[in-house]
Structure 1
């Protein structure tokens, strides 16, 4: 079952699209990045697959995206929107895994402890701006304070898996994937196989949290 709701926040109206499990035991709330929406291939695949495993998936569109803007606001404003959404995400009374891709992953990490998230899913965590490894955002990831899974493309210009520091999190690699988990045609795995890698890694990690 899928339904959408508008949620007012101090940063504007946000939208949650619920992909409900029949017998849910947890909610996975996932927001998009600064350059796209919930139509991202990884978000669509998770929403399609996980409800069968008892995971209700809530795909979250931040207020700036709902308002039709093309550029994301400052991180503090993104955090404000996420905080405002949280009561709606927690309303089913289930543990909530806070997640996002790219900029959304940073939001999830920064706010996890404050909001009482049970865990964090960070898809394509932007460890640093492309070509600027000295501008590391590792402190956000390392400070999440809850069980965390990072799913990272092997060729992500925002941070390859081998650039990530050691820390209290799990890292799953999507071989040859870029920041959007796209793989080149010459890669030894297909695009569908890359997406399957994401879904399998996230599904196994969530199951282990139970």
Structure 2
């Protein structure tokens, strides 16, 4: 699939701008677990996801991770080109959660387009606003919502992403997503098990009662 199908402003570009963008964009394929963007240490460019799944996360000084949002097919990752956003300093890292294929648009090329084209600038501002909304929603969850609710919502999200009720995920991986400790996640999972919402086995968690799990997750569902 060609790059123009991923850019809603494509038809509003001039022929020269389209040619420049088409020539500059490169296709990349990475394996699961690859760090695609490493915080402020690099500015790899704008990423357009063709297939697979990426995870945007932040890392505290103590080494604790927390997932900000996921990027799926047809999503666009702007903060991997955060160096072009003068007033925004985000130490966000991007990791491939699955084998992933994406287009990469060099930062300088996209920044030049933003300066030349109002539709590109407007689209970029909308994208920034949407991501800020994601982050603010997450902060509200961390500060004001119970961990059992957040955990239940996470399990439902994972089930929707994978299309399965059996989730092949470790307690440690869940803790990294939620910005918690593995021991706390294990305790919360045992609570969900005691409520009959999930069953636990080594290396996997199975949703046993989706309705009950959804009730527990109510305040953390979007």
- Structure with higher Rg: it is 2
- Fold in common (TM above 0.5): no
With normalisation by structure 2, the TM-score equals 0.24
- Relative contact order, higher structure (CA 8 A, sep 6+): 2
With normalisation by structure 1, the TM-score equals 0.25
Name the structure with the higher helix share. 2
